[in-house]
Amino acid sequence: MKKKRWVRKIILGGILVAVAVAGLLSLQIEPADYRRSLQDDIKSANTLLESVKVGNEKGQYAPQRVLLFEQDIAAAKTVVDDQEQVYEQLKAAAEKLQEQQKDFKRAQNKDCLSQEKVEQIAQKKEDFTKDVSFEGGTATWRLRGSTIEQPAAVNLEIQKQSAYAQQIEALLVAEQSQRQTVTFLHDGALPAGTTVELPCSWDLPAIQVYRYDPESGALGPMIKGTVTAGKLQLPLQSGGSYILIKKSVEEPQPETPQPEDPVGSEAAQESSSGASQSSPSSSAQPSSGTPNSGQSSSQQAPDGTPAPAPVEPEAPPAPANTCTIEIRCDTLASDMSKLKNPALAGYVPASGVILGTTQVEITPGETVFDILKRVTRNSGIQMEFRRDGGYTGGVYIEGINHLYEFDGGDLSGWMYSVNGWFPNYGCAAYEVQNGDRILWCYTCDLGSDVGAYF
């Protein structure tokens, strides 16, 4: 009996000790100096930052996420350097940075395509699609394998937050239309012709989209985002922060502030110099018998120094060689019954004009294909081609503005003409000359409906 009591006492004592130890372990001891604690947290965060590897592979970090964490550290440093910050403010900043460190440790790339996977897609020339979840819902990536020339890893992750939010807001401060930012975390150019489908409730057939360019600090050219059945089709050429604006593509583009010329710049110096020459001091008089036209050689400033010689006007630059390019789908627009897939109707403008007549500068050796590729890229118009050794010129245009061969019937596809003539060879073999007029048109009848006869 006594033995049983001793056993009970030992068990009870063990339980009490365990509870006491657990209580001690769960106790959080408040630091006496939160400024020192915050300094230690900043040091730890910087050490973590130095250890990460930036890139598009799984397990690496997207540059924008690194930049956002750098901003978190900078904000904490501002608090710790401010000697007027009190205990509670320092404590809140320390706890916030600790949470941000935890979040950053979990922020490695997870939803990615490895370079090997992209190589497989390229070899099979298949289309790759994948759904990705983000704060705005579910996005669908579509990569065209036939467009891949140099396979590389692709980061498919998307988020609403941008590391350039302040800069974007400053650029669009005068823009009243509803807008939102979507950041594609892929670093750099995408290796394939890519379209991303995003949820969109805006009741417009197409909206204005712009990519923020961190290097120039400005918005890039307008990209046309097509909205169909609550989905935005957005052609992508590279990752980054994209601004979606609830405005039709026909409405005026946002007015963004232009950077001012820095003080001391060459332009400012020229302006200042020109002003002083056009308003010479009244104390500087021409020498006796010297005509006014000779003042520049003998005129002196009030301090006795010679006045600067007049600036000779520069010769005007030689006129650049130019051509025009236009992209149309009139025959399809005039008879939409030919369109096999009704979901593509949003890509067929009622006017038939995908790109109005546009003048572009050309350099010697550029081809019709070079001009098309450059203009569609700068205008945000989707274009897909394939390298085809059996096709004269080695390049075949498969689709423009999401309209592909056979979308308008068995004899449909894209053709080009120069100065009204339809060449019987590929666009990469036609070298553009000054004054050429290039027309890309979608035929539904092997060219006979657009004036091409073979």
Per-residue pLDDT 10s for the chain (454 aa) are 555 666 666 776 677 666 665 555 554 445 557 788 889 999 999 999 999 999 999 999 999 999 999 999 999 999 989 888 888 888 899 999 999 999 999 999 999 999 999 999 999 988 899 999 999 899 999 998 888 889 999 999 999 999 999 999 999 999 999 999 999 999 999 998 899 999 999 999 989 999 999 988 999 888 888 998 899 999 898 999 999 999 998 888 888 876 544 433 333 333 333 333 333 333 334 333 343 433 444 445 445 555 555 666 666 666 789 999 999 999 999 999 999 988 888 889 989 999 999 999 999 999 999 999 999 988 888 999 888 766 666 789 999 999 999 999 999 999 999 999 999 888 999 999 999 999 999 999 999 999 886 5
> Residue by residue, what is the 3-state secondary structure of 285-326?
CCCCCCCHHHHHHHCECCCCCECCCCCCCCCCCCCCCEEEEE
Beta-sheet pairing, 437-443 with 137-144: unpaired
Q: Report CA-CA distances (Å) from 312 to 268, 274, 277, 300, 305.
A: 18, 12, 13, 20, 21
Q: Report CA-CA distances (Å) from 82 to 79, 88, 92, 151.
A: 5, 13, 14, 49
Q: Give the distance between the most distant pair of CA atoms in the chain.
A: 138
